[in-house]
Structure 1
Amino acid sequence: MRYKILIFLVSLLFANFFTGCKSGVNSPLNESINFPEAITVKGDKFLDDRGREVVFNGINIVSKNKEEGYIFRSGPELYKNLKKWGVNCIRFIMIWDRLEPEPGVYNEAYLKEIDQIIAWAKANNIFVVLDMHQDLFSVKYSDGAPEWATLDEGKSHTTGAVWSDAYMLSEAVQTAFDNFWANKPASDGIGLQDHYAALWKHVAQRYANNTAVVGYDIMNEPFPGSLGIKFMQTLLKAYGELQYELTGTVLSEEQLLANWEDESSRKKALEVLSSKENYDAVISRLNGLNEDFESRILQKMCQKVSDAIREVDTTHILFLEHSYFGNTGVKSAIERTILPDGQPDPLVAYAPHGYDLLTDTEAVASASNDRVGYIYGQIKKKGEQLKMPVWLGEWGAFYGNSESVIPVAKNAMSLIERNKFGNAYWSYDPGSENLEYFRQVLIRPYPVYTSGELLDYYNDFDAQTFTMTWRENGTDDEPTIVYVPHLSRLNKEILNSRDSIKINNIDGSDAGWLIIPTTGNKEKRMITLDFVK
């Protein structure tokens, strides 16, 4: 039902809005909010402790710098700003290298620093997902496992034009993964996976009663080790066959490899895969290999970690990622973990990543909308099959790019909204908030907590409008909360003669939350907000 639109008066904004905020009194423009204390999962939705559907709008907070102790160096002011920018969750990156510097020895100083991050986030109504991160498996090659857990058998480490090429090129990285998946023993005779699971148990025991922690992201972008060579060979063969079908040209293995040697040739090669049909013809050829790895190897590791965590924590959510190749739209075979009594664990979420093949290159602004649509479509299908909420734990990675990536960012965010994914943008860097794509796309209106069922929501970035539709169940009385980044640009407010919308300003900034009381009826509701350009 669409309600009557009233114009915000400038005098009201400046006389009441800022006066009410400074004085701290409750007024129509400074209504108080009782924020949730905890988040759980019910079916395919995240719910807060007041029964409302939650949209996670987040960002990754990360330091991969060993000299910094793998802690993003900022004070509480960052988390105050994140709140103003509409962030209600962070994916906080932890690094095994510092957590367990020696076999079985846990770093209390690092954990205390993480405690402080969580406390700062909680003070700003921001929830935290703890992620055990790795890139190229180990601190020896990038970040992740400590050296004592890196059993690379002295193999050589080779890099490529893009940092992630080393997954395919480095025998050392592949061997280290192989030995981890095989649970080969460390120097103390205990298997690497057993160490990993015990570490997760230690972390989970620490945060078992901390409701600001939503849950645990078991492993960042698991890579299949030397099996990755088969993935690459299959991918190149499929690409060559598509080229032959399209052009009649036969490309040798050397020519196919040359297409990926540098960023410029890679960009040109990917033009062939800019349509969903062509992309599917190539990327789907990896489905069988990925199913084999995820079902035979990755699932067992996730279950081992789940078993360890559930010994000490039965209330937090486990976030399951697909394999590294799932980031590009390869079909995932990951499944729900099982509780000790053999029942499916209800507190599990699907935590995929979604990246175009041009991510991490200078051509990121040329990412194909069709390819990204295909990747997000695969994620949507998998979430529906799992009957889990979907939390896109990484996407974007636009870094210092600004205006050039705005179309790509708008497309990705529109897909996130259309599919109702939770999300955590990769990643925050000092000054990100000054970049155009960050200000125009990432900081946007969205429904934070919805009373009833959220049916759909979307931002029309060009028209500068936000629309939301939901269905109230007639029994809940907790209000729906919508984040608005620019109250001074909001030129229309949705009101009802019986229960008008109120506003909570965020710490004297131009951002705030719309507080929409329930009607007490079972009914479908809709609001549309317009903003001055």
Structure 2
Amino acid sequence: MKNKFQAISNKKIVGLLALLLTSMTAISQIKHGLRDISGRHVITRGFVINTNDHKGEVFFDSDDYKRMVRMGANAQVIRLELGKLSSFPGGSLDQTYLKKLDSLVSLGRNSGMKTVFKLTVYGVTKFSWEEFWTNKKNEHQTYIKAWKVIWKRYANDTSVLGYDIVNEPRKLTMNISYEDLTNTYLIPLYQKIIDESHKINPDKKILLQSIFMNKGEGIDNNQYAEITAPVNRKNIIFAPHIYQNKIDFIKPVMDRFDRESDMLEAPILVGEWGFPTFATTDTLTSGRLGQLEYRELYIKTAEVFDRMGIGSIKAWFLGNRSMQYFLSGGPSTWAIFSDKTDAGTVERKYITDIISRPFPQVIAGDIQSFLYNFATRTLNLNIKSNNSKGASKIFIGADRHYPDGFSIIINDDFILYHNPLKNIGLEVYKSYENGNPSDFIWDDYSQQLVVLKWPVDNSMLNIKIVPGLRNFELVKK
């Protein structure tokens, strides 16, 4: 009897431990992402939108935004120029520039995208990080004044999500450690800017980055210094950049960012990612950093992002009008299109097919985990449903990833499929007794699956998007 009791107890203990481990895993996987006004779980993806490049101004239209949406974008990060917003040397407030920003925000809003503004120090004739940190000429107030133009202009625009307040801050020639620079200068500046922003925009998110380290001083091939002290402010997002070209360092770098996120008490939204493309890569299929290597590198990065449940912003939604010359491999670019126009149309598909992978955009409930398997073309998504939060959206990108059609499988008990040869949306193979397949809508324009209501509420659901029709049509006949 005693042995039997011990066996039962041990079984219970094992079960409790398994439950605890499952809960811990779920917590670690769903801590990232954002919540919208309805409380839905949002994974944010999109592109950095440049207002100019080395050749001059860049312009976008509604067709460009349609392409972004069909690549999975539900957000844009507009890169601001300090020279057109401030009185730093060579700069002044440019009203025409502000109207251009209005247009980009409107294009995003009309496409269902949120906007984040990122302030860069471009466009001024002289900007010294060393002088900026010491603030002897009241540079901080001049900088904040530039931000106030944006804060006041978009204070009531709900499509503007927030502000990335200092882009890639530098140390350069200062005789100070990165930790001391961060703690003595960067964090107090962040606190000052956040406090001023919250007076005008208390509900907007503030995105924070770390110090961009000098060349040759990176750790684990990571050029961004670690933040080791809290900012102690609400409504913040940790927005690190990762331009990793060594595949073995991707996860360790992201693990470090994850620890910083815990300390900051802020979810991660990767502000920029993707190692730049060399001019030779478009014609080089193999060899060091040829197309196959880029694909492998980007897939590994994407898998790490997805397993962590984080959103990410890709640089840049641009054509290849100009190249950078700072890498030893020769001319390079972050542009995702290879043609020499500002917006671009000819995709570097060895990059864009990974960027545009299927993912849960907005979920009524809690995302427990998700991962797109590139080999099997399967999106595996685990959620806890909550229909009181509203509709859900899953980006599928069927034209790109499922030209042979796709099937939607929920807990193996609810199955719909889409045949691209028919113009009839989704068809039903199997449904719950009380399920309503008409709650599932295929939006071909945005390449999204819209779910008005989950077939089972307040429940754990496993949702799979798989290629092909799995012989459902044959079985029906």
Q: CA deviation at 1:371?
A: 1.2
1:294 counterpart (182, 186, 202): 182
- Correspondence for 2:133: 181
Structure 1 residues 463 and 520: CA distance shift in structure 2, 3 A: closer
Q: CA deviation at 1:114?
A: 0.3
1:147-200 CA distances to partner (integer Å, 9 max, x unpaired)?
Answer: 2x53xxxxxxxxxxxxxxxxxxxxxxxxx2111111132xxxxx1111001111
2:250 counterpart (361, 372, 382): 372
Q: CA deviation at 1:211?
A: 1.0
- Correspondence for 2:13: none
1:73-104 CA distances to partner (integer Å, 9 max, x unpaired)?
Answer: 22221111111111001111001012225679
- Correspondence for 2:43: 55
2:407 counterpart (492, 496, 510): 492
Q: CA deviation at 1:419?
A: 0.9
* 2:385 is the alignment partner of 1:472: yes
* 2:333 is the alignment partner of 1:455: no
The answer as to whether partners of 2:47 and 2:76 remain within 8 angstroms in 1 is: yes
Local SS of the residue matching 1:493: strand
The one-letter amino acid of 1:513's match is: L
- Correspondence for 1:240: none
Q: Distance in 2 between matches of 1:446 and 1:490?
A: 17
Q: Distance in 2 between matches of 1:197 and 1:477?
A: 37
Q: Which structure features the higher share of strand residues?
A: 2
The one-letter amino acid of 2:46's match is: G
1:347-388 CA distances to partner (integer Å, 9 max, x unpaired)?
Answer: 1111111122xxxxxxxxxx3221122111111111122221
Q: CA deviation at 1:418?
A: 0.8
The answer as to whether partners of 2:51 and 2:78 remain within 8 angstroms in 1 is: no
The answer as to whether partners of 2:229 and 2:263 remain within 8 angstroms in 1 is: no
- Correspondence for 1:420: 309
Q: CA deviation at 1:293?
A: 1.3
Structure 1 residues 43 and 414: CA distance shift in structure 2, 3 A: closer
Q: CA deviation at 1:145?
A: 5.5
Structure 1 residues 101 and 368: CA distance shift in structure 2, 3 A: same
1:306 counterpart (184, 194, 197): 194
The answer as to whether partners of 1:477 and 1:518 remain within 8 angstroms in 2 is: no
Structure 1 residues 67 and 195: CA distance shift in structure 2, 3 A: farther
Q: Which structure features the higher share of helix residues?
A: 1
1:382-425 CA distances to partner (integer Å, 9 max, x unpaired)?
Answer: 11222211110011043364523100010010111011111001
For residues 182-331 of structure 1, the aligned pairs below 5 Å read 182-185=134-137, 191-227=138-174, 289-325=177-213, 327-328=222-223, 330-331=225-226
- Correspondence for 2:466: 530
Q: Distance in 1 between matches of 2:310 and 2:223?
A: 17
The answer as to whether partners of 1:321 and 1:350 remain within 8 angstroms in 2 is: yes
Structure 1 residues 132 and 445: CA distance shift in structure 2, 3 A: same
The one-letter amino acid of 2:163's match is: Y
Q: CA deviation at 1:310?
A: 2.1
Q: CA deviation at 1:458?
A: 0.4
Local SS of the residue matching 1:434: coil
Structure 1 residues 78 and 47: CA distance shift in structure 2, 3 A: same
Q: CA deviation at 1:499?
A: 3.0
Local SS of the residue matching 1:296: helix
Higher RCO (C-alpha 8 Å, min separation 6): 1
2:84 counterpart (78, 95, 98): 98
* 2:132 is the alignment partner of 1:146: no
Percent identity (aligned): 20
The one-letter amino acid of 1:412's match is: T
Unaligned segments of structure 1, at least 5 residues: 1-41, 135-143, 151-175, 186-190, 231-288, 337-343, 357-366
The answer as to whether partners of 2:382 and 2:462 remain within 8 angstroms in 1 is: yes
Local SS of the residue matching 2:272: coil
- Correspondence for 1:254: none
List 4+ stretches of structure 1 deviating above 6 A.
Answer: none
The one-letter amino acid of 1:389's match is: P
Q: Distance in 1 between matches of 2:105 and 2:131?
A: 33
- Correspondence for 1:333: 228
Local SS of the residue matching 2:107: helix
The one-letter amino acid of 1:114's match is: L
1:482 counterpart (394, 401, 406): 394
Structure 1 residues 334 and 108: CA distance shift in structure 2, 3 A: farther
Q: Distance in 2 between matches of 1:409 and 1:54?
A: 22
Q: Which moved more, 1:103-112 or 1:212-221?
A: 103-112
1:257-296 CA distances to partner (integer Å, 9 max, x unpaired)?
Answer: xxxxxxxxxxxxxxxxxxxxxxxxxxxxxxxx32211111
The answer as to whether partners of 2:393 and 2:448 remain within 8 angstroms in 1 is: no
How does the TM-score come out when normalised to structure 1?
A: 0.65
Q: Distance in 2 between matches of 1:115 and 1:453?
A: 33
Q: Distance in 2 between matches of 1:43 and 1:466?
A: 20
Local SS of the residue matching 2:242: coil
RMSD over aligned CA atoms reads: 2.5
Local SS of the residue matching 1:458: strand
